[in-house]
Amino acid sequence: MRVPYDTPRIHMYTRIRKSPFFYAHQRHGVQSYSVCNRQYHPRHYDDMVVEYWKLVNDVTMWDVAVERQVEITGPDAFEFTNMLTPRDLGKCAVGQCKFALNTDVDGGVINNPVLLRLGENHFWLSVADGDVLLWAKGVAAMAGMNVQIREPDVSPVQIQGPKSRDVMVDLLGEQMLEIPYYWMDEYELDGMEIVVSRTGYTGEVGYEIYLKNASRNGMKFWDTVLEAGEPHDIAVIGPCQIRRVEAGILSYGSDIALDNNPYSDYKFLNPFEAGLGYTVELDQEADFIGKEALKRIADEGVSRKVVGVEIGGDPIVGYIEDYLQVVEDGSQIGQVSSAFYSPRLQKNIGFALVPIEHAGLGTELAVRSQTGEVEARVIEKPFIDPKKETPKQDLTKATVS
């Protein structure tokens, strides 16, 4: 089953923001856009399977300027930021990054940013699609803390794939190899200020480069990085959805905040339902937002859960436009939120929200597609490299697997 993903056309006009790299997209032959954080987001330049192999075998460059930064500074910045997430930021050193959820008073996940700690009282929340800036400002207005919250002129790109190591060394030198997984550092590149983190959306070796003063230096920066990547056959692509599903990475809006479809009860999933309970540190002293609710949920357990599934039928090539129904005796009991054909596994894989009694490994499910019901089965996720050995590997060694 080949699913169309490039029609109908998104209208271009002033209401939707353009990234500092927007006009490079046209130069590289962008074929389709999505919209994230009210900004055009380039999705594909080539067939998605072709882009997948470029990522897995070589190195790719993505415009992810839609990852807007919520910057928190001021004397109370640590205490305030620690209040916004169930992660214990006392365990996050300056220069370290954390995958951190933002939860509401009911324990629901309202965003899943990468948190960067640039200083003792200086944080960036690199957010997924959602109004975290406005939410944080609202919390600050009521908290009575001495903090400043703003969106800085910062736009990131991702350099992902096994050859990303070589591109980054050519761009910034051997010092890049010393950055551990989920840490960051600050550099100057041809007069431009950047922050580099060893993070990404792929499960491959990769980096994110955050450009400061991006509205001024966007195209200069883009061309500088592209030039360093040319000897390594760098390819400009959009976020590879096949690879992120293989890596077990949930998409906020599709797999977590399931609030745009008839099956949803309009309650955001909580971390335990999403399989992200490891990010909830209930034994910390900080009274973070949603702590009491998450304590209760941890004690009581959950009634539904996001699981990994393999799905029968023809290869699913492209994006599913609607959630696929998980059914039992003809009635819907759950839904598939992301599903793609994995070229390496040679089967359809994805994520499904199902009742807890259907969440055990090996559980047989039925999924209703456009062509009828197909068999599915709950399997372990991440589907490839479950221990994340690839992105965590020591890059000071001569070769990268």
pLDDT tens sequence across 23-64? 998 899 999 899 999 999 999 999 999 999 999 999 999 999
Q: Collapsing DSSP states into helix, strand and coil, what is residue 9? A: coil
Amino acid, single-letter form, for residue 170: D
**CATH T-level topology, domain 250-269+303-379:** Elongation Factor Tu (Ef-tu); domain 3 (2.40.30)
Q: What is the token pair recorded at 170?
A: 């050519």
The sign of the CA dihedral 13, 18, 23, 28 is: negative
The three-state secondary structure class of 379 is: strand
Q: Is the pTM of this model over 0.85?
A: yes
364-369 vs 324-328, strand pairing mode: antiparallel
Q: Are strands 235-236 and 364-369 parallel, antiparallel or unpaired?
A: unpaired
Instruction: For 69-150, give the CATH class.
Output: alpha beta
Structure tokens at 82: 């620690």
Neighbours of 294 (CB within 10 A): 24
Interval 343-390: pLDDT, tens: 999 999 999 999 999 999 999 999 998 778 999 999 999 999 999 999
Closest by CA to 197, choosing from 211, 214, 215, 210, is 210
The greatest distance separating any two alpha carbons of the chain, rounded to the nearest whole angstrom, comes to: 64
Contact of 84 with 141, CB cutoff 8 Å:
no
Rounded Cα gap, residues 384 and 390, in angstroms: 10
For the record, the structure tokens of 332 come out as 């819907």
Is 116 in contact with 177 (CB distance < 8 Å)?
Answer: no
Of 281, 270, 340, the residue nearest 306 (C-alpha):
270
Q: End-to-end distance of the chain based on CA atoms, in angstroms?
A: 32
| 115-172 pLDDT tens trace | 999 999 999 999 999 999 999 999 999 999 999 999 999 999 999 999 999 999 999 9
Within the chain, which residue ranges are assigned CATH 3.30.70.1400? 69-150
Q: Which two tokens stand for residue 75?
A: 């004397």
pLDDT at 360: 98
Answer CATH for 22-67+153-238 from 3.30.43.10, 3.40.220.10, 3.40.50.1100, 3.30.1360.120: 3.30.1360.120
Q: Where in the chain is CATH 2.40.30.110? A: 250-269+303-379
What is the distance between the alpha carbons of residues 253 and 110, in angstroms, rounded to a whole number? 9
> Does the pLDDT value for residue 1 go beyond 50?
no
Q: Which two tokens stand for residue 393?
A: 């590997």
Q: Give percent above pLDDT 70 in the chain.
A: 97
Give the phi and the psi of residue 96 in degrees, each rounded to 5.
Answer: -105, 155
Q: Provide the residue type at 296 as one letter.
A: R
